[in-house]
Amino acid sequence: MADEFDFIIVGAGSAGAALAARLTEDGRHTVLVLEAGGSDRNFWVQMPLGYGKVYYDARVNWKYTTDPVPGLNDKPSYWPRGKVLGGSSSINAMVYVRGHHRDYDTWGETAPGWSWSDIAPTFKRMESWSGGADDLRGGDGPLAVSDVSAQAHPICAHYYDAARQIGLSVNPDYNGADMEGAASYQITTKDGLRASTARCYLRPAMKRPNLRVETKAHATRILIDQNRATGIAYRQHGQTKTATARHEVILCGGAINSPQLLQLSGIGPAALLSQHGITPIHDAPQVGQNLQDHLGYDHLYRATVPTLNQSLRPWWGKLRAGLQFLLTRRGPLSLSLNQAGGFVTLTEGTDWPDIQLYFSPLSYTRAPAGTRPLMSPDPFPGFLLGFNPCRPTSRGHMAIRSADPLTPMQIHPNYLDTEADRALMLAGTRLIRQLAATTALQSIIDTRITPSPDTNSDADLLTHIRDNAWTVFHPCGTCRMGCDPASVVDERLCVRGVTGLRVADASIFPTIPSGNTNAPAIMVGERASELILKDAR
Ligand SMILES: Cc1cc2nc3c(=O)[nH]c(=O)nc-3n(C[C@H](O)[C@H](O)[C@H](O)COP(=O)(O)OP(=O)(O)OC[C@H]3O[C@@H](n4cnc5c(N)ncnc54)[C@H](O)[C@@H]3O)c2cc1C
């Protein structure tokens, strides 16, 4: 293939890999994928629990850091993002959540064609759910989703009993008709290995002659001629190269890099661009605005019974788990740390969960942004009970720091900016304490380590939350989709003000879904392929 393609996709992440696979399926279109990272053939990427190892690994990770966050007592927040084939689906915690139908009905109000009834078939088509197909779940899609409840650590049973004791239901399938209740997390793995979009979508598609994937290829600018995107300039192996798109350029760089590439290319707030010497092509004040993320908060308990800490901390425990994984592809290394959790509606008068729970049968002390692997289990038996509010109302923003494409964005997440978000953090904390106070959990709790047993008043708790809350790694919304003229992309994902250019990744979410964001990002990639192929016809 020459350096001219029908479509150029920037980023082979959750959305980009799915989009590339679908666009090349019928063999009628040529597609170039530019990925800034390298191959995902890396042991720690393929082994599910290896995400603790790559958390700070610059070989596969952009390792972003936000600006100091006023709501977090002026501390910055460390934001890992995948820089590798599969993008963040290659380094994430694999929890698979589609979201609530009302998340998408809300999208549909601002972007016709994105209501639950419109996108439910896409979710169904994209997955192979190990629990089997039914009206809502898919059985033969590319993305493997596994029920691993049978392998959960025995102390998860105490969590489910605790949930029942405070009146929560235990839900066998939160991706089915009802999201509410305590649940075992479904994860994107297949045969004990990570099911990233690189593995499930891209690799099979890379055998096709009409798909070319360039790794270590960092897109630096969209080439625009008379308000039409005609190609991409990129850096690869120290050289500047260009590729031409006959039909369209599609940005799938994720919630940080897609708005960055738009701004670098002259599509963004005109004053900001001029300040950095970039000639504005289209004044789009919303590019980089509307940033949303889930903010999580943990309680750490010392247990009276062995937890995964005892299995994974000593060298002989690591050896045993390693051998079990290598020989059988089973055991703790084939799972996520988030073995149980679920969704709870706390706000009276709604039937839409507003708290997501996480139960990890292992505890670790989160290292400050540094080099220590994330998951170095504590030396005592411990477990974590955490949560995040599902739909925060605080909105952040991001902006280029300079015209240099290799300089990271300024990121202002603005966590805990609204009273509603602060109130829900406190309500979630009370829910955790209610769970911990049940006989089911009291029977295995020795002490609460963090927050300390005397951190109880709302004021003390809020201070502790501000010091210890963490990103759940779900930034989105920075190239907002909508049918209003101020939105960055319209409901067909086309960038306003420039033709031949779309964005398809987590940046287009108008509002953050109630659960984790990998499944919704892949859905956006799938949906983009439906829209693009329809328009190409
Ligand atoms: C540590 C971590 C844990 C997470 N855990 C979960 C979880 O358990 N469940 C869940 O559902 N979600 C989880 N997420 C979030 C989820 O993985 C992301 O929301 C999702 O992957 C976003 O998809 P995307 O397509 O928008 O971006 P990405 O998957 O990040 O893809 C963007 C791709 O574009 C490439 N790229 C960017 N800029 C350029 C450029 N200029 N040139 C070329 N290529 C470029 C990147 O390298 C990357 O490969 C987690 C994320 C992280 C980081």
% of residues, the chain, pLDDT over 70: 98
CA–CA distance, 487 with 17 (Å, rounded to integer): 25
Instruction: Determine the distance separating the centroid of ligand 1 and the alpha carbon of 410, expressed in angstroms.
Output: 18
Angle between helices 518-536 and 116-126 (to 10 degrees): 100
- Tens of pLDDT, residues 248-277: 999 999 999 999 999 999 999 999 999 999
pLDDT given at position 350 = 87
Determine the Cα–Cα distance for residues 154 and 152; give it in Å rounded to an integer: 6
Mutation test residue for ligand 1: of 249, 292, 476, 518, the one with most atoms within 8 Å of CB: 518
* Backbone φ, ψ for residue 348 (5° rounding): -65, 145
518 lines ligand 1 (CB under 6 A): yes
Q: CA-based Rg of the chain, rounded to a whole angstrom?
A: 22
> Whole-angstrom Cα distance, residue 7 to residue 461?
51
SS3 110: helix
CA of 499 from ligand 1 middle (Å) equals 26
Q: For residue 139, which phi and psi values (nearest 5 degrees)?
A: -120, -10
Predicted confidence at residue 226, as pLDDT, reads 95
State mean pLDDT over 436-461: 96
For residue 519, the ligand 1 atom closest to its alpha carbon is: 11
Instruction: Report the nearest-CA residue for atom 35 of ligand 1.
Output: 11
Angle between helices 156-165 and 419-436 (to 10 degrees): 110
Annotated active-site residue in 29, 101, 299, 474: 474
User: Cβ(278) to ligand 1 under 6 A?
Assistant: no
Q: Where are the beta strands (DSSP E) in 373-436?
A: 382-389, 397-399, 410-412
Residue pair 344/337 in contact by the 8 Å Cβ criterion: no
Q: What is the arithmetic mean of pLDDT over 91-107? A: 98
Contacts of 17 (CB under 8 A, 6+ apart): 33, 85, 86, 87, 89, 196, 197, 198, 201, 202, 525
Q: Is the CB of 88 under 6 A from ligand 1?
A: yes
Confidence label for 499 from pLDDT (cuts 50, 70 and 90): very high
Q: Is the CB of 478 under 6 A from ligand 1?
A: no
Check residue 364 and give its pLDDT.
85
Query: How large is the angle between the packed helices 101-110 and 116-126, nearest 10 degrees?
Result: 120
* Gap from CA of 191 to ligand 1 centroid (Å): 23
What tens digit of pLDDT does each residue of 14-46 get?
999 999 999 999 999 999 999 999 999 999 999
Candidates 473, 479, 505: which one to mutate for ligand 1, based on the most atoms within 8 Å of Cβ? 473
Going from the Cα of 190 to the center of ligand 1, the distance in angstroms, rounded, reads 19
In this prediction, residue 349 carries a pLDDT of 86
Give, using CA atoms, the residue closest to atom 53 of ligand 1.
Answer: 81
CB contact at 8 A, 267 and 249: no
Determine the distance separating the centroid of ligand 1 and the alpha carbon of 258, expressed in angstroms.
11
Phi/psi at 35 (5° precision):
-120, 125
CB 20 near ligand 1, within 6 Å: no
Structure confidence by residue, pLDDT tens digits, 347-387: 988 889 999 999 999 998 765 554 455 567 899 999 999 99
What string of H, E and C letters represents the secondary structure of 30-62? CEEEECCCECCCCHHHHCHHHHHCHHHCCCCEC
Average model confidence (pLDDT) across the chain? 96
- Is 294 annotated in the active site? no
The whole-angstrom separation of Cα 200 and Cα 14 is: 10
Q: Which residues, at least 6 apart from 272, have a Cβ–Cβ distance to it below 8 Å?
A: 263, 399, 400
Burial of 453 (C-beta count, 10 Å sphere; 0-12/13-18/19+): exposed
CA distance 359 to 159: 7
- Which tens digit of pLDDT belongs to each residue from 66-77? 999 999 999 999
505 DSSP 8-state letter: S
Q: Could you give the C-alpha distances from 438 to 144, 249, 433, in angstroms and in order?
A: 36, 55, 9
pTM: 0.97
Spatial CA neighbour of 181 closest among 16, 355, 63: 355
If you measure from the C-alpha of residue 10 to the centroid of ligand 1, how many angstroms do you get, rounded to a whole number? Answer: 13
Give the Cβ contact number of residue 217 at 10 Å.
23
User: What is the mean predicted confidence (pLDDT) over 176-197?
Assistant: 97
Cα–chain-centroid distance for residue 482? 21
Judge if the beta carbon of residue 11 lies within 6 A of ligand 1: yes
Looking at ligand 1, which residue's alpha carbon is closest to its atom 46? 83
pLDDT at 366 (0 to 100): 63
189 lines ligand 1 (CB under 6 A): no
